[in-house]
Amino acid sequence: MAGEVFPDDFVWGAATASYQIEGAVREDGRGSSIWDVFSHTPGKVANGDTGDFACDHYHRWRDDVGLMRDIALPNYRFSLSWPRILPLGTGRIEQKGLDFYDRLIEELLENGIEPWVTLHHWDLPSALYDQGGWVNRDTCAAFVEFTDIVTRRYGDRVKHWITLNEPWCSAFLGYVHGIHAPGHTNLKEGLQVMHHLLLAHGLAMPVIRANVPDADAGICLNPTTFYPYGDSQEDLDAAIREDGLRNRVWLDPLAARGYPDDMVDLFREIWPEVGPDDLEIIATPSDFIGVNFYNPTYVEAGNEPPLFSRKIDPPNLPRTDMGWIVEPSALTDLVTRIHTDYGEIWTKQYIFENGAAYDDRLVHGKVDDRQRARYIHDHLAALYKAIDDGVPVKGYFVWSLMDNFEWAEGYARRFGLIYVDYKTQQRTIKRSGRWYAEVVSGNELIAPD
């Protein structure tokens, strides 16, 4: 397929997150985060990898902005490290932490690159975790304090604000499945964390508006499309339950519909404490809904509580290095569904993350990652189809700008448009990075090979 010309104002970008790229975890007064503790706990991260050095972006930020310019990147999404700015989560501000992002923002703007800032991409200050972390309602107030400080400081230059990245991961991977920090396995806690994250988002929105009146602000979720594996009613019901916990428990309250009845019923015994005004706060209007998408999920009916479903990967579909199935049409289905079901609430969707991990090799100074370019191409084609059908998707960010610390998978999984040699910290623009630069510059989808 060729010839897909995107709308003139379409936003093209690439994304990263603080703990995944910065390193310098003990420099300039930065406090500890739950990911420092988790990654240093034996057995939690593949190969014992940690974010201690990561891509050393804290020192190489200027060169990294240069690389963004080399691939003609007009927009860059990154997150702020909360413990770099508030080492204890609240109270004392670390000036050097604030200065770091000032320099980065200035450099981006001088190079014509628009900053898109995520306030919280999982690196919660350990001091807050010690007081209960996201299970403790007070963490919402701490998040508001952090939001206030950074939006006052950068709001004259940063206009795009994303409150939270993928709160489903913080709540369920972090507190229920135990595979992300802080590594708990407690469903009741996970549900309370879900509610507090939504509440923190709702409380932060008016603060962003007050400090940055012309802000474009919202939250970024990782919803996905669930397909029943078979034709039975049981498989369909299992898909509906999965959709409830991954998609509707987030989207419905944000869209002022409250928590979905089927989920409240399913988890009745352990449903979180919800204050009298909480749902109204969570439903504070936002400017967009951010969507991170990698793969759909197929499910059939199963025996395991609480969702009584089993995930099945159809054997005919290709997979990335993460083992995730590749099915781009699911992205068309997802953004179309969000528009159909929630279109009167959000008239803008942004794809804030999409991309793939492949086993890249640096050979004679080159990385020939045509599989990644193909993955991105096919997802952009799927997105174009939805846009052409009237779905208001206004932008697309590749995950990721560069290879980085892939959480529990450590450095073994590479998602970047730019290859990072972690021993030398040398960067090499991959074939996909050069191809993406051409797409962005022409505002048109071109064949990757």
- Residue ranges that bind ligand IFM, judged by CB under 6 A: 17, 20, 166, 292, 353, 399, 406
What is the rounded distance in angstroms from the CA atom of residue 194 to the CA atom of residue 245? Answer: 10
Nearer to ligand IFM, 140 or 173 (CB): 173
Nearer to ligand IFM, 20 or 309 (CB): 20
* CA-wise closest residue to 18 among 341, 449, 401, 321: 401
Q: Are 194 and 167 in contact (CB under 8 A)?
A: yes
What is the rounded distance in angstroms from the CA atom of residue 200 to the CA atom of residue 190? Answer: 15
Of 22, 94, 353, 406, which one is the catalytic site residue?
A: 353
For the bound state, the minimum distance from the C-beta of residue 51 to ligand IFM, rounded and expressed in Å, comes to 11
For the bound state, the minimum distance from the C-beta of residue 54 to ligand IFM, rounded and expressed in Å, comes to 12
Of 166, 189, 242, 406, which one is the catalytic site residue?
A: 166
Nearer to ligand IFM, 10 or 324 (CB): 324
In the block, tokens 């869209």 appear at: 255
Nearer to ligand IFM, 272 or 433 (CB): 433
Active site residue 300: no
Residue 207 — φ and ψ, nearest 5°?
-70, -40
Q: What is the DSSP string of 50-104?
A: -SSSTT-HHHHHHHHHHHHHHTT--EEEEE--HHHHSTTSSSS--HHHHHHHHHH
Beta strands 309-312 and 226-228, pairing class: unpaired
For the bound state, the minimum distance from the C-beta of residue 251 to ligand IFM, rounded and expressed in Å, comes to 18
Nearer to ligand IFM, 76 or 267 (CB): 76
For residue 425, the tally of other CB atoms under 10 A from its CB is: 16
Nearer to ligand IFM, 49 or 406 (CB): 406
Supply 436's token pair: 């993406």
Integer CA distances (angstroms), 427 to 193, 244, 404, in order: 37, 41, 11
* CA-wise closest residue to 266 among 226, 307, 234: 307
For the bound state, the minimum distance from the C-beta of residue 320 to ligand IFM, rounded and expressed in Å, comes to 10
Q: Are 61 and 111 in contact (CB under 8 A)?
A: no
Residue type, 108: L
For the bound state, the minimum distance from the C-beta of residue 411 to ligand IFM, rounded and expressed in Å, comes to 12
For the bound state, the minimum distance from the C-beta of residue 399 to ligand IFM, rounded and expressed in Å, comes to 5
* Axis crossing angle, helix 370-388 with helix 431-442, rounded to the nearest 10: 30
Task: Show the beta-strand stretches assigned E in 166-235.
Answer: 216-221, 226-228
Residue 396 — φ and ψ, nearest 5°?
-150, 125
Nearer to ligand IFM, 45 or 72 (CB): 45
- What are the b/e assignments for 144-161, b being 16+ CB within 10 Å? bbbbebbbebbbeebbbb
Dihedral (C-alpha) 411, 417, 73, 364: value to the nearest 10 degrees? 110
For the bound state, the minimum distance from the C-beta of residue 335 to ligand IFM, rounded and expressed in Å, comes to 17
Integer CA distances (angstroms), 114 to 44, 109, 317, in order: 35, 6, 36
Nearer to ligand IFM, 281 or 357 (CB): 357
Active site residue 166: yes
Supply 377's token pair: 């191409």
For the bound state, the minimum distance from the C-beta of residue 73 to ligand IFM, rounded and expressed in Å, comes to 18
- Residues noted as catalytic: 166, 353
